[in-house]
Chain A
Amino acid sequence: MACHVAWRMTLITSMSFALTGLAGCSSNPAPLTSSDPGPLATLSSGGQVLVNGGGIPVVPGQAADFTVYVVNPADSHVELVSAALVPVPGYPEARFLHVGLMLRPDVLGAGRGWPSGIPTRPLTGARLPRGQSNIIIGITGQAAGRNYAAAGIRISYRVSGRLYHLTAWSVGVACVRKVVGPSYPGCSAAVSKAVAAVRKMIGLPG
């Protein structure tokens, strides 16, 4: 006998619960109840916000390029309006040099200079289809020896004429140095610290 049972467990109160569902030899699991995730979301996995990070040594004023990830869970088109940098607590605020929508699935973990070598189109007016879209940002700073960071970008966008604002979390650190040489271990550590600071800022566990 190869019967299976699938059911749904429903909590009735904070500590008491009930099991509801279908018993029998073949039944499908009931879908998980979920609230409306909204028209655009920062990248998540299994519902958990993901905070990716990137960092690279650059000379003063040179672009450090990273990727910010957003997801459109609906079929309706999302039209991007603008983007602004979100600072990281404890880090000098970076200067926002460039932003664009990537035209290929490739992403930039950490790039130096502009153009980045990955095809893009202007962010303003860009329409996001269903699924993940990748936005490239270029940031920099002027003082050699300092690490300029962004926690992500605040995106303004429209759906069916209504304006929304979303913060997409993805950490970028421009490690500004007098010269760019073979090895900068301090930049990697700066990225880890900035990611930890952002996770704390948005209430994620360390």
Chain B
Amino acid sequence: MLVEAHISEGINSEDVPSQFLDITLASAQVSRGPFSIQVPKSRDLMRAERLGNGWVNFSIVIDSGDYVTSQYIPVPMASRAANGSQPAAQEVLGHAVTVPHFRSFRVMNSSMRRILTSEGGRPDGVVPCEWLKYGSQREDETRIGEVHTDTDSGSTDEFKYATQADSTITVGVSASASSGWSGDGSVKISNHFGGSGSFPNPAGTLKYADGDFYYQRYESNNEPDCPGKYMNQAVSALGDAFRGTNSPAANPYGGCLHDPHGQARADPHGGTFDQDRGTAEGYSGIANVFGFSFGGGTGFSNNIYQDYTNNSNVEQYYCGNGPMPDVPVIYNSSH
């Protein structure tokens, strides 16, 4: 098993790296049962933490006989990565994090098998994977939430996407640059630009909320521990937010009165209800770039607010798929 740091290099003015290096930090032989791998402090680890705004995107590769599996996973390594999140802070201070299940083992390619054989099966004989920028970057609208505003005149909502909007987005790998992508874990994308976006929504709005992200394909040097010949990943967020063009599903309860989790009320003539939440709704298809459908597995930001103001003449009700107010999507009596 290899534990590597996914380190960016050569960042351009749009915050897009010209290459990534998956630098090996630790390796070990693992058999069934509990295992432990010591990973020493190193310049590479500290550099990765610095570049990742306190986060380190690890690449973990496991070889088993003729099979291999891998995944990218972001880990908070410094207190500034926690950004108010208690679990992240606990991971930093308590030194523990749960790693998601790996994807199924796949057949090892001949090149990797040959090197492992020549190295007597020692995984540290594998040369680090190097990813070089392939083609041009692409800016794409990426789904970060959704807006539901009641149809009563005077009912409004402001969607706020704050600074430090670190996002967790899946990584695609493939043997081809244009197709055959499959997910290989996820990486943390920092909002290096420090931007924050918000947009007002009039009565009757039923739209997704989007933000701009840069995406880039990379070609590997095809060293054996690369999870694919090509990698496709989100590399930076502009930190903006705007109303998207597509519409999400309406209130599944048909109205807040029938929501079993209850409802929140804002009285007419100026009642304001500002909803805070820890994570946004996770979506499987937040963007489709270079033929890969990206997903957001754990939410997009620590800081998403939606501010509802009722300047109508009647009471407004808000509800969701759990106890108010901590729900990822807020519905209303209209939709």
- Do A and B pair up? The answer is yes
B182 interface hit (Cβ, 8 Å): no
Does A4 sit at the interface, judged by CB under 8 A? yes
A107: B residues at CB distance < 8 A:
262-265, 324-325
Residues on B with beta carbons closer than 8 Å to the beta carbon of A183: 154, 269-270, 311
Contact A205/B162 with A19-B35, A43-B326, A112-B271 known, Cβ cut-off 8 Å: yes
Chain A residues near B271 (CB-CB < 8 A):
54-56, 109-112
Distance to closest chain B CB from A36 (angstroms):
12
Given contacts A43-B326, A192-B274, contact A180 B86 (CB under 8 A): no
B67, B90, B262, B269: the one contacting A184 at CB < 8 Å is: B269
CB atoms of B94 and A9 under 8 A apart: no
Cβ of A142 under 8 Å from chain B: no
Is there an interface contact between A205 and B97, defined as CB atoms closer than 8 Å?
A: no
B164 interface hit (Cβ, 8 Å): yes
A118 vs B263: C-alpha distance in the bound complex, in angstroms? 11
| A8/B96 in contact, CB under 8 A | yes
* Interface residue stretch chosen among B38-46, B127-135, B172-180, B246-254: B38-46
Residues of B within 8 A of A90 (CB): none
Which segment, of A45-53, A119-127, A149-157, A159-167, faces chain B? A45-53
Q: Please judge, given known A-B contacts A11-B96, A15-B77, A47-B90, whether A23 and B274 are in contact too, CB under 8 Å.
A: no
Complex CA distance for A6 and B88, rounded to whole angstroms: 19
How many residues of chain B are within 8 Å of chain A by beta carbon?
Answer: 82
Q: Beyond A1-B104, A29-B101, is A188–B278 a contact (Cβ under 8 Å)?
A: no
Q: A1-B67, A46-B279 are in contact. Are A188 and B272 (CB under 8 A)?
A: yes
Min C-beta distance of A185 to chain B, whole Å: 8
Q: What are the residues of chain A within 8 A of B262 when measuring CB–CB?
A: 104-107
Chain B residues with CB under 8 A of A53: 272-274, 276, 307
Q: Is B205 an interface residue (CB 8 A)?
A: no
B326 and A22 within 8 A (CB): no
Total A-B residue pairs with C-beta atoms closer than 8 Å?
Answer: 258
Q: What is the chain A residue whose CB lies nearest that of B66?
A: A1
Interface residue? B233 (CB, 8 A): no
User: Is the beta-carbon distance between A187 and B272 smaller than 8 angstroms?
Assistant: yes
Q: Which residue of B lies closest to A5 (CB)?
A: B102
Q: B267, A110: Cβ atoms under 8 Å?
A: yes
Give chain B residues whose Cβ lies under 8 Å from the Cβ of A47: 85-90, 278
Give A7 to B40 CA distance when docked, in angstroms.
19
Check if A50 sits within 8 Å of B278, measured CB to CB: yes
The answer to whether B309 and A8 touch across the interface, beta carbons within 8 angstroms, is no
User: Once the chains bind, are B278 and A181 in contact (CB under 8 Å)?
Assistant: no
Minimum distance in angstroms from A77 CB to a CB of chain B: 19
Interface residue? B69 (CB, 8 A): yes
Q: B84-124: which have CB < 8 Å to A?
A: 84-92, 94-102, 104-105
A44 → chain B closest CB, angstroms: 7
A8→B326 contact, CB < 8 A:
no
Give every chain A residue within 8 A of B36 (Cβ-Cβ): 10, 18-20
**B interface footprint on A188-200 (CB within 8 Å = 1, 0 otherwise):** 1001100100000
Per the bound structure, the CA–CA distance linking A21 and B30 in Å amounts to 10
Q: Is the CB of B32 within 8 A of A24?
A: yes
B1 to chain A, nearest CB (A): 8
Give 7 nearest A-B pairs by CB, closest first: A11-B95, A45-B278, A47-B86, A105-B262, A109-B273, A53-B274, A110-B271
If A105-B323, A183-B270 are given as contacts, then 14 extra A-B residue pairs at C-beta distance below 8 Å, sorted by A number, are: A8-B96, A10-B36, A11-B91, A12-B38, A12-B95, A19-B36, A21-B35, A23-B30, A33-B94, A54-B274, A117-B265, A182-B269, A183-B154, A191-B272
Q: What are 23 inter-chain pairs, A to B, with CB distance below 8 A?
A: A1-B104, A2-B104, A3-B69, A4-B104, A8-B99, A10-B95, A10-B96, A15-B77, A16-B45, A23-B31, A29-B100, A33-B96, A47-B86, A47-B278, A48-B86, A52-B275, A53-B272, A54-B271, A54-B274, A109-B266, A109-B273, A111-B271, A188-B307
